[in-house]
Structure 1
């Protein structure tokens, strides 16, 4: 039975049992005298080597095996998940491939259909649409050019002067589709996408400081009525359509059409006695003792709804002809530039704001004092069949009258005749200030000076008041921007001559610069006769035509339907005036007892804006007419420095109404003599001295 039992004792334990002989030897050892057992240092069995237990090693192996098992289980789980994910991706890719194949088939089918039905020249049509939108949005009646030197925008390294829209883009889109042919019609999204990058919506910083008072007053009334639900629209164009047959017909807009002259805007029924307030721009005259002052203020009025509606109808009716003149002149200018012939040239001119010369470092007395010099800048854009060219003429003379205008035009016309001798017809465009362009002296110079240069026909076309912004304004901004950049880099521009020299040294500029000295301006003073008669209705003239020296033909709006002919067309009732001086022939048989009285030119002339010599307490004074009311004129007078030819504007404005009979003579604008004083021309000074005597 004992032999049949298994020996379960581990081998490691068996190896550790001591030898019996060794045990007996230990037992037979003697005790030491101290009571301890003396053990022999050398063992009896020298081959005995005790072994360590194997239980910890097995546990380590088991732990390692368990960890490896868990790791393999985790890897198996991850591989299973990856397999499922790859199967899903494969199925998804198969679906996408099938979807792409079907989409490709549909695209090919659609392309084949388009190729069958689309008209030829698709790319050409797209280009025409793009050009049509750009041309439409850059019209002066649809967008306004900002003249500031900082009003630029750059895209893809292309810098352009900014233009801001004058109407909402939705309204312009409707107007575009109504004007263009059907093949150029666009949806609003396509229309907005083709808008040039430099034509933008107005921003808060684009505050309009040159707004038209007539339009602004009607806008204020329309906004008030619209807010009360009495108008369905605030658009002036849509409101004018309600009261006229055809907004492009002058008789309708002038309110003389037999069909629509009594039409008015219809208002819904409302409580007409309700109180309401509205605003209007108005010139207010205030007095301080004997002195009178004229200021523009935005005044608040109180009244009833009925009074507001009556005022709106009256203002809208008077605005109709102003709106027609503005849009008609812009359309004629555009037609003229788009239909130039080989023998024609169009010159668009305007005075830019004077540039104040600057230094990189200025002392306080120079910066705030009167030592800073100013440069006059007259800008022009020339249009010919060969292209467009920009000009800027600079001068240290601050005169902006008609004589200075022709002195600034002289080098440009000389270059034009030298470069293109085949051009014999000149069309000039400008705004219409009476102190610069629209006056009898300019009409006379227009009918004489160009013929001396070889031109056979010349016209001068004026834009409607408060709507004269155009391409020349951008030239002035570019010049001032370049000058400021030069000063910021450490340059010195102390005098106008230095500004001109700096601009001429700039490379790559597309603007041609000329210098105009004072002598060139003064020589035109001698060309104008003293007793030149005024042209009746000067303020309403928008076109002056001359094909014979000293003879002009004028009319209320421009027309170029026969611009290639020598004589003007009969449209809009042109009037011919002979500007040659009328001499009085004395009767030698019966001589008069007294010398003949010279005709007083100021009796029939609208003096508003003119400089005159007036008599007050039997003393002459130089001043500028601010308002012309019947038999009285309001004059802002200057102070004379002793008996010298020096005049200065007083700190307190000297504004008084005079009778027309007290206006002794009309003179040109005084030219600067010093930083504070101005002086009269030699002829005007003689008139002033004779009046004093």
Structure 2
């Protein structure tokens, strides 16, 4: 009895002290957990710093864990080196295992395939400057885009704010701490330089794009950044406007409209499943040119429309990427498009803007004279994306095709040419239309492109939209940005650059040298004309030039000598058939028929004219404003500087393509 009472008293005392022990243990655990949480937070902040990791830009470069979606960040160094930097910078003592375990799940190690190899040079160089100024605690932003946002209304990028046309934010300036700017600063930049290269004992000059480190003063770097900012903001405005225009076209597409997004993929190098060393390192493997397209169409009117995407890839053994081959690649694609959209009358084409491929004078001519005919559309509007920002769906088509072919090669299949390429894709890809391009109609397109020699449009690099309409088939509207409100046949008041007037192919083929000489009041040198021209030139007894045909003599003007009598021989002998030539008088303008001075072939002999031409009088040369000049390329070289140039604000006068 006494023992049981004693045990009950001990249990009550233990229960009393047990609660105290639990409270002490819980307090100790909470303190440890808080310390762990503080260390984890420090490690997270350290790894999320732009100095230690970089943020990816792709909209699909995300990672999800436990229903939490984050944008992927790539480490700038190995975790082992970053652990050492963390210990030296923070003074917190943690093991490498704890540092590795506390790494956020969206901060990952970079791979070779995760390199960004298509950066915009303008973005990259301005970001380098912003990062250097931010690291020196001069600029509160670490990227040039954030600086541009700070100068816009509500920190939202818009075209009017970026072009400094907004009355509310046009007077804003960047926030810079200018207390002491005399120190030196180091930053990086991409630059193209002339580099001396020694090849087989000979030194040659070539251009190379390199990434160099520059040391300068803080004040000078701020001046460079301020001078670059207007151009960078206009660059952002162009990007935003082009993306908005394409998005609007997709959302408001009708059954009579279509959008074709095109781009050249990198040439595919054919491979063997197994190769000897000389075949692997030599240049004996063929390449194939891939032109990828994505066509967007709709079966109903908005807002009930549902946009459908159809992928195409045209393959050719011809590795040219000029306008002639672009039209050859587009011809079968447009035929497929007309079957997908029978009522196609409004065609949009979207591409990037390299001057050797899509944005040049030859391509402008082919839009009006070739693509308009094979598409049979009433309106064609070509949109160009901003430089350095032309990636899109066609690049995914090219990547998918190359991945399938590389997997087949990894399994032992040989792809040695275009036949093996088609055989591989025929059994493995069903959602992409693969079309083979032969050279059977390339010659026809080449003749059409060569028939018109146009002068370059001054301001070609500023063009982001070319509009053609059936209402004015010989007129193209050149616009600075894509306009979705103005019709294709009117001059856009929002983004107009000028008008491109297409000369007819027939007029170019029949443009005579005499007519050109009359316009410019120029007397050509005929000393070597007979040897270099397909037209046979000779001198008749009157001293006039003849091309093997009978022409009446030229009447004399009031300031010249009396006219000489015409020769009785209507067809005088050529210089090749006579032993001597009559003395050559003062040269007069050339008077052969227009059809006999152009083209490599010798035309049939025309009938002699029955009328006597009027005396030649110099006439004033017309001025073509913002147009291509019909006969500019037929002018002699030494007086070509007198030909009227186009009136465009851009000062660049490079010969595009």
TM-score > 0.5, shorter chain as reference: yes
The answer on 1:594 being equivalent to 2:491 is no
Post-superposition shift, 1:304?
A: 1.9
**What residue is the counterpart of 2:343 in the other structure?**
422
Please report how far the alpha carbon of residue 462 of structure 1 lies from its aligned counterpart in structure 2 after TM superposition. 0.6
Match of 2:240 in 1: 327
Give the counterpart of 1:561 among 481, 485, 490: 485
Given candidates 353, 356, 374, the residue that maps to 2:266 is 353
1:238: how far off?
3.0
Alignment partner of 1:274 is 2:274: no
Aligned equivalents of 2:516, 2:269: Cα separation in 1: 59
Q: Which runs of 5+ in 1 are unaligned?
A: 1-140, 147-151, 156-162, 168-198, 606-614, 616-627, 634-665, 669-693
Aligned-partner Cα distance in 2 for 1:166–1:328: 28
Kindly provide the CA deviation profile for residues 61-115 of structure 1, in whole angstroms up to 9, marking residues without a partner as x: xxxxxxxxxxxxxxxxxxxxxxxxxxxxxxxxxxxxxxxxxxxxxxxxxxxxxxx
How far residue 236 of structure 1 moved from its aligned partner, in angstroms, is 3.0
Deviations 1:389-425 (A, max 9, x none): 1000101111111111111111111112234221111
- Residues in 2 aligned to 1:200 and 1:349: alpha-carbon distance in whole angstroms: 35
For residue 173 of structure 2, the aligned residue among 240, 255, 264 is: 264
Q: Which residue of 2 aligns with 1:465?
A: 387
Contact kept? 1:144, 1:165, Cα under 8 Å: no
CA 1:213–1:524: 2 relative to 1, 3 Å: same
Aligned partner of residue 296 in structure 2, secondary structure? strand
Q: For residues 163-220 of structure 1, what are the alpha-carbon distances to aligned partners after superposition, in whole Å with 9 as ceiling and x for unaligned?
A: 98799xxxxxxxxxxxxxxxxxxxxxxxxxxxxxxx9999444111111111111111
Contact conserved, 1:427 with 1:460, CA < 8 A, in 2? yes
Q: What is the aligned residue count? A: 426
The separation in 2 between residues aligned to 1:461 and 1:401, in whole angstroms, is: 18
**Distance verdict in 2 for CA 1:480–1:353, change over 3 Å:** same
Work out whether 1:481 is the aligned partner of 2:403: yes
Q: Is the 8 A contact 2:158 2:240 kept in 1?
A: no
Matches of 1:200 and 1:550, distance apart in 2: 56
The CA deviation at 1:558 is: 0.5
1:576 maps onto 2:499 in alignment: yes
CA distance in structure 2 between the partners assigned to 1:479 and 1:391 by the alignment: 11
What's the counterpart of residue 134 of structure 2?
Answer: 226
Distance in 2, Cα, partners of 1:519 & 1:459 = 28
- Structure 2, unaligned runs of 5 or more: 1-55, 75-105, 300-307, 525-588, 591-597, 599-620, 628-636, 638-649
Task: Establish whether residue 550 from structure 1 lines up as the match of residue 465 from structure 2.
Answer: no
- Deviation, 1:427, is 0.4
Q: Secondary structure at 1:461's aligned position in 2? A: strand
**What residue number does 2:358 align with?**
437
Matches within 5 A, 1:243-262: 243-244=151-152, 250=159, 252-255=161-164
SS of residue in 1 equivalent to 2:476: strand
Q: Measure how far apart 1:545 and its partner are.
A: 0.5
Q: What is the distance in 2 between the residues matched to 1:410 and 1:312?
A: 46
Change (3 A) 1:388 1:667: closer
Alignment CA distance shift 1:144-1:501 (3 Å): same
CA contact (8 A) 2:460 2:656 kept: no
Aligned match of 2:50: none
Whether the aligned pair in 2 keeps the contact of 1:396 and 1:497 (CA below 8 Å) is no
Cα pair distance change 1:466/1:291, threshold 3 Å: same
Tell me, in whole angstroms, the C-alpha distance in 2 between the residues paired with 1:403 and 1:310: 45
The answer to whether the 8 Å contact 1:373/1:496 transfers is: no
For residues 613-671 of structure 1, what are the alpha-carbon distances to aligned partners after superposition, in whole Å with 9 as ceiling and x for unaligned? xx9xxxxxxxxxxxx9989x9xxxxxxxxxxxxxxxxxxxxxxxxxxxxxxxx797xxx
Match of 2:447 in 1: 526
2:121 matches 1:213? yes
- Any conservation in 2 of the 1:356–1:372 contact (CA below 8 Å)? yes
Query: Hey, what does 1:241 align to over in structure 2?
Result: 149
CA change 1:321–1:166 in 2 (3 A) is: farther
Is the contact between residue 458 and residue 547 of structure 1 (CA under 8 Å) also seen in structure 2? Answer: yes
CA distance, structure 1, for counterparts of residue 311 and residue 186 of structure 2: 49
Kindly state the Cα deviation for residue 593 of structure 1 after the two structures are TM-superposed: 5.6
Quote the Cα distance in structure 1 between the aligned partners of 2:109 and 2:345.
41
Match of 2:334 among 388, 413, 423: 413
8 Å contact kept, 1:432–1:464: yes
For residues 249 and 371 of structure 1, do their structure 2 counterparts lie closer, same or farther at Cα, with a shift above 3 Å needed? same
SS at 2:461's partner residue?
A: helix
1:315 to 1:397, Cα distance in 2 relative to 1, 3 A: same
What root-mean-square deviation, in Å, do the aligned CA atoms of Structure 1 and Structure 2 show? 3.9
Written as runs of structure 1 = structure 2, the 5 A alignment for 1:669-680 is: none
Match of 1:85 in 2: none
**1:556-588 residue CA offsets vs partner (Å, 9 max, x unmatched):** 11121356x765753322532212157667569
C-alpha deviation, 1:468, in angstroms: 0.5
**Counterpart contact for 2:465–2:478, Cα < 8 Å:** yes
**Pair 1:340–1:587, CA change in 2 (3 A):** closer
Deviation at 1:523, TM superposition (A): 2.2
Partner residue in 2 for 1:342:
255
Equivalent of residue 218 in structure 2, options 305, 313, 333: 305
**Separation in structure 1 between the aligned mates of residue 353 and residue 151 of structure 2, nearest angstrom:** 28
SS at match of 2:441: helix
The structure whose Rg is larger is 1
- Corresponding residue for residue 206 of structure 2: 293
SS of 2:440's partner is: helix
How many angstroms does 1:254 deviate by?
3.5
Residues 304 and 419 of structure 1, relative CA distance in 2, 3 Å threshold: closer
Q: Counterpart of 2:58?
A: 143
Q: Alpha-carbon deviation of 1:476?
A: 0.7
- 1:244 touches 1:260 (CA, 8 Å); kept in 2? yes
Check the 8 A contact 1:342/1:384 in 2, yes or no.
yes
Q: Secondary structure at the match of 2:435?
A: strand
Deviations 1:422-481 (A, max 9, x none): 111110001111111000111111112233231111011111011010000011111111
Contact 2:474 2:501 in 1 (8 A): yes
Matched, 1:368 2:277: no
C-alpha displacement at 1:290, in angstroms?
A: 7.3
CA distance in 2, matches of 1:166, 1:569: 43
Instruction: Confirm or deny: 8 A CA contact 1:340 1:384 kept in the other structure.
Output: yes
Q: In 2, are the aligned partners of 1:143 and 1:166 still within 8 Å (CA)?
A: no
SS in 1 for 2:312: strand
Partner of 1:625: none
Q: SS where residue 421 of structure 1 aligns?
A: coil
In structure 1, C-alpha distance between the alignment counterparts of 2:427 and 2:326, rounded to whole Å: 25
Instruction: Give the Cα–Cα distance (whole angstroms) in 1 for the partners of residues 523 and 233 of structure 2.
Output: 51
- Measured in 2, the distance between the counterparts of 1:474 and 1:593 equals 56
